[in-house]
Structures are given as C-alpha cells and as structure tokens.
Structure 1
C-alpha cells in the first residue's frame, strides 16, 4: 500500500466493489441511465443522501444490514458510475 496516499485503500476498495457488482449485475446502472437519463443518477444519489440523513438523525451507524460506511461507499460508487457514463457519452 502507498503510505504517502492514505486514500488509496478506500479507492481500491471502491474499485473492487464496483467491479464485483458489475460482474454480478452487468451494467444495470448504465442501462438505466441510457433508458431514463440522468434523473436515475439524481434518484440513486438522493436515496443514499436520505439514508445517511436517517442514520445520523437516529444516532446509529447501522440499521438493518446497511451501515453508514456502506452507504458512503454506495454514494461514492454511484458518483463514479455517473462519471463513467458521462465520459462514455461525451461523443454521442
């Protein structure tokens, strides 16, 4: 691990998670964006922000099977997926 960059462990974990989910589900998020546009991104990110708000208001770091850490990772993941989709559509 690169000790001079403390963010690498998080971004590497995020990249691994995104790849695992993409392998399991295919590019379902990209397909949703293709079909319904950027509103899909807004909705997904909004869902995650609402989840974060709920966890914080309740003073809990975990509810059911979703933790604050998981939710933050999902938020970052959807942001990366959105960036990837935008980049792929640049020349369309």
Structure 2
C-alpha cells in the first residue's frame, strides 16, 4: 500500500539531519541548558509565524513561506520527541 505521507516525512528527516549537522545539535544543547520549555518556545515561535502569515494574507515573507514554516514546526515537534526519548530516564 502506498503511503502518501512518506514524501513529507522523508523530506523532513533529510532536512533535520542536514540542519542538525550544520547547527551542531543546537536544539539538544538549548534544551539541556534551559529546560523543556525550549520545546514549547520553539513551537510557539513557529505558530506565531504561521498565524502572522495567514492573517496578513502573506503566504511568503522574507523568503520564508507558509510551507517552510509548517515544515519547521513539524521539525521542532520531531526534535522534541527525539529529545524526550533520549532523555526519558532523566525527567
């Protein structure tokens, strides 16, 4: 059975891997330093960006499209899940 979601999740996995290498796993470092609230803060930032793009009828602003922002939000959710899994015995 063909899964139509794989094109999105595979693309997201590739993006997360390349950004994680480029930024030196800064998400994990930030959560380690400032706590789990970093996960909520990053997701909140992206939600606010999505809301702004939609309410201002600007599906692209400063080279960041609604699609890019949605992908970023999904990425931060995945990073949060990965962090929780890797640190489940610490919290």
TM-score band, normalised by shorter chain: over 0.9
Number of aligned positions between the proteins: 90
TM-score scaled to structure 2, two decimals?
0.95
In structure 2, the gaps of 5 or more residues are: none
Name the SS of the counterpart of 2:29 in structure 1. helix
Does residue 45 of structure 1 match 2:27?
no
Residue 58 (1) aligns with residue 56 (2): yes
Where does structure 1 lack aligned partners over 5 or more consecutive residues? none
Q: CA deviation at 1:75?
A: 0.2
- CA deviations 1:10-62 (Å, max 9, x no partner) are 00000000000011111110010011111111111000000000000011210
| Aligned-CA RMSD value | 0.9
Task: Tell me, in whole angstroms, the C-alpha distance in 1 between the residues paired with 2:23 and 2:58.
Answer: 30
Q: In structure 1, what is the equivalent of residue 11 of structure 2?
A: 13
Using the size of structure 1 for normalisation, the TM-score is: 0.94
